[in-house]
Amino acid sequence: MPSGVGTGSGSGDSVSRDGNRLRAFIERHARLLVLTGAGCSTESGIPDYRDADGGWKRAAPVMFQAFIGDAAIRQRYWARSLAGWRRMRTAQPNAAHRALVQLQRQQRLQCLVTQNVDRLHQLAGSADVIDLHGRIDQVRCMSCQVRLPRETLQAELLRLNPAWAALDALAAPDGDADLEAPDFSGFQVPCCSLCGGLLKPDVVFFGESVPPDRVDLAMMHLRQADALLVVGSSLMVYSGYRFAQAAAAAGKPIAAVNLGRTRADALLSLKLSEPCAAALAFLLPPPGEAPPRDALPGDAPSAATLAATAAS
C-alpha cells in the first residue's frame, strides 16, 4: 500500500490526522473527479451491498439475464420493489451529498460520477452528475425504449395488486426490499402500455453493461481532472474500478473514503475508513452559518417531484 494511506481507525488523533490529509488532498488538487458509491447514501437510510471485506451483505441482487428471461423472477422483483419504492421515494440527501455540493460551488469539482441510482446528489443540488448505473425513478420499456416515471408504474402495480399494498419489509439496496412471500406467482406485472413490451427499471443490473457513452464521458472528465476522489465505494465491480485503474495509469493521485477495503487499495495515495458524512464534514458551512439560498434543504425538489419529471 502506498505511503500516506491511513485507515482512519484507532485513536481520535489518527482520525484527525487522516481528516487533515483528506482536506490537504482536496486543497492540493484544483479539479477533482469524484466517484461515489452506496456508502454515500447509507446515512439516508438506503442500505449498501458490501461488508467491510467487500463481500455481499445479503443475497446477490437479481442478474440482468435472469430478470429478462424468467417471468417468475420479474414477479418477485416487482413485488419486492412495490414495498421498497415507498422508502426510496422519501429518502433525503445527507451531509455527504451536501458536502459534495459545496465542493462543486467552490469550483473544485471536475465532475461527479455516481454508481448510485437514487438521485440524491441531484436532490441535494449537485449539477451535471453522471448517473453511471442509471436512475431508479425511471422505468424503461425494453422493446420500444419509452421511459416513464417510477411513480406511474407504482400506481399501476398497486391497482393490479391491491392485496400487496399493506405488506412492508426492510429496505434493501436500490429500491428493493427484503420481502418474503410464500408465493409470488399471483403478482401481476404490467407491460408497456404502448407496445406491450417488458418493463425494467432504468438502471444497470448486475450482469448488464454500462452504456458506453456514459463511460466515455466520465473518462473524458477523468483525463481533465487532477486527481480522483472515491466516496463510499468498495470498487468491487469493474464499472467503478476502471476509473481507479485509469487514474493510476495516468499517474493521477487517488484518495478514498470507504468503510472497509476497496478493490483499489493498492493504488491509493490516501484511504479513510470512516462514514462519508463525517469524513467530508469540513466542506460544509460552519454551524449557524446559513448555506447559499439554493442549498437550503427546503428548496430542493422532492423525490416525488423528480420522479414526476423522470421521463423528460
List Cα–Cα distances, 98 to 122, 285, 294, in angstroms.
10, 10, 12
Pairing of strands 109-114, 32-36: parallel
DSSP state of 131: E
**Catalytic status, residue 133:** yes
Residue recorded with cell 459545496: 102
Round to whole Å and give the CA distance between 60 and 56.
Answer: 7
SS (HEC) of 2-66: CCCCCCCCCCHHHHHHHHHHHHHHHHHCCCEEEEECHHHCHHHCCCCCECCCCCECCCCCCEHHH
Bridge partners (DSSP) listed for residue 33: 111, 228
Q: Under a CB-based contact definition with an 8 Å cutoff, are residues 37 and 50 in contact?
A: no
> What CA–CA distances, in Å, run from 106 to 27, 29, 293?
11, 12, 15
Active-site residue, selected from the candidate residues 29, 97, 133, 221: 133
What are the catalytic residues? 133
